[in-house]
């Protein structure tokens, strides 16, 4: 997972709209992919990132341009000029710690959010910022630059099936992309829930300091998720209230469905957070309990052996005149007396339910 706070300070004092990439540049150079489609045609090709500017085909044809990698500032500048995107938007695309938001610029809509994935090899959570510019007949998606994305199923649906996705405008494509991103949040939450359950079992069976570390680690991950997901709810909420005419009336129903999923993600996340904080309480309780256990063992041992040691010490004294020492059965008498003391102690502890 990326750091919770990024180095925004290197932008101090720059004019708004100055393009500066924020965060570590992801490996690999910018790749641009273009898919142009309509009800009866589809064309997919790779673009040279700095090709001359050619406007997308008019509606009802839809052009989807997917840009992978934003660390090359000149590519962004090129897109800005070509599609008349405001420098403030370009700046936000480059600032990879953007809070999810949707902004209406009249000619186009700007949406930014986090795309989360699980690295299949290491099982680690990876976040990539996704910026989407939605125009009347085009959609441009800018990915922060982590290789690959979660959009493969949309590409397949575009190619294979000629349903709604091929027949309506780019706003439905926007829905499809957002839906995939949100679906992947469910996957992340499932994985976290699984780890949480493992942790829970560990907590009950054999908790140690590693367990606390793990709880704390998950708390941090939940904080990161919270930052990514909480504002998204508002973003999708605004889209489904159709605050921009770029969203068609007929597609609202799908955005409402998406909103429903987003709310469910937030809800699940809150439930997991509640469970986490409950787990720390349980841990603390169990530590206290074990301390009690240890102290009882110590007290039982001390309470039994201290009096015994006193007694044997007593008859280890070197006084000249100690009549008991001379008795024929002094030794066995002392042994029996000590056995009685021990029995009394054990009875007392048993009555107090100490073991």
Per rule CB under 8 A, is residue 201 in the interface with a copy of itself? no
CA dist., res. 331 & res. 339, Å (int):
13
Q: Determine the length of the chain.
A: 355
DSSP string, 55-114: PPPPTTSEEEEEEE----HHHHHHHHHHHT--HHHHHHHH-TTPPPEEEE-SS-EEEEEE
Per rule CB under 5 A, is residue 141 in the interface with Mg ion? no
Name which of residues 300 to 339 contact a copy of itself (CB under 8 A): 301-303, 305-310, 312-322, 324-331, 334
Per rule CB under 8 A, is residue 48 in the interface with a copy of itself? no
We find the least distance from the C-beta atom of residue 307 to a copy of itself, in angstroms, to be: 6
Name which of residues 143 to 182 contact Mg ion (CB under 5 A): 143, 146, 149, 179
Distances (CA, A) of 123 to 20, 117, 146: 31, 9, 15
CA dist., res. 342 & res. 303, Å (int):
9
Half-sphere exposure of 101 (CA within 13 A, CB side): 9
Per rule CB under 8 A, is residue 7 in the interface with a copy of itself? yes
We find the least distance from the C-beta atom of residue 54 to a copy of itself, in angstroms, to be: 28
Name which of residues 152 to 181 contact a copy of itself (CB under 8 A): 152-154, 156-157, 161, 163-165, 175-176, 179-180
We find the least distance from the C-beta atom of residue 345 to a copy of itself, in angstroms, to be: 10
Per rule CB under 8 A, is residue 77 in the interface with a copy of itself? no
Per rule CB under 8 A, is residue 4 in the interface with a copy of itself? yes
Please identify which residue in the block is written with the tokens 């990161």: 224
Contacts of residue 304, defined as CB under 8 A and 6 or more positions apart, other chains included, come to: 342, 345, 346
Per rule CB under 8 A, is residue 343 in the interface with a copy of itself? no
Per rule CB under 5 A, is residue 92 in the interface with Mg ion? yes
We find the least distance from the C-beta atom of residue 11 to Mg ion, in angstroms, to be: 6
Question: In 10 A of CB 105, how many CB atoms?
Answer: 15
Name which of residues 202 to 261 contact a copy of itself (CB under 8 A): 204, 206, 209, 212-213, 216, 219-220, 223, 227, 231, 253-254, 256-257, 260
């Amino acid at each position: 997972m990326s750091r919770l706070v990024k180095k925004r300070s290197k932008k101090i004092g720059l004019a708004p709209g100055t393009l500066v990439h924020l965060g570590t540049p992801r490996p690999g150079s910018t790749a641009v992919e273009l898919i142009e489609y309509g009800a009866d045609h589809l064309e997919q090709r790779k673009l040279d990132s700095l090709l001359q500017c050619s406007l997308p085909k008019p509606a009802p044809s839809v052009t989807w341009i997917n840009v992978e990698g934003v660390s090359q500032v000149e590519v962004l500048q090129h897109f800005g000029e070509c599609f008349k995107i405001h420098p403030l938007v370009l700046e936000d695309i480059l600032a990879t710690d953007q809070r999810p938001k949707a902004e209406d610029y009249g000619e186009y809509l700007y949406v930014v959010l986090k795309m989360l994935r699980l690295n299949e090899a290491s099982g680690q959570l990876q976040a990539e910022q996704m910026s989407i510019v939605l125009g009347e007949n085009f959609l441009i998606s800018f990915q922060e630059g982590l290789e690959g994305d979660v959009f493969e199923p949309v590409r397949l649906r575009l190619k294979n099936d000629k349903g709604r996705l091929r027949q309506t405008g780019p706003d439905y494509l926007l829905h499809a992309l957002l839906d995939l991103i949100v679906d992947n949040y469910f996957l992340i939450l499932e994985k976290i829930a699984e780890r949480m359950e493992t942790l829970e079992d560990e907590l009950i069976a054999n908790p140690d300091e590693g367990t606390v570390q793990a709880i704390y680690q998950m708390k941090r991950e939940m904080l990161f998720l919270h930052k990514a997901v909480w504002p998204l709810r508002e973003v999708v909420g605004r889209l489904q209230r159709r605050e921009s005419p770029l969203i068609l009336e007929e597609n609202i129903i799908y955005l409402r469905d998406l909103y429903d999923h987003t709310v469910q993600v937030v809800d699940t996340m809150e439930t997991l957070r509640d469970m986490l904080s409950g787990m720390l309480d349980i841990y603390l309780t169990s530590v206290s309990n074990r301390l009690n256990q240890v102290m009882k063992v110590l007290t039982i041992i001390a309470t039994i052996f201290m009096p015994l040691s006193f007694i044997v010490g007593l008859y280890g004294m070197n006084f000249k005149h100690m009549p008991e020492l001379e008795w024929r059965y002094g030794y066995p008498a002392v042994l029996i007396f000590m056995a009685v003391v021990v029995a009394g102690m054990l009875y007392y502890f048993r009555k107090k339910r100490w073991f």
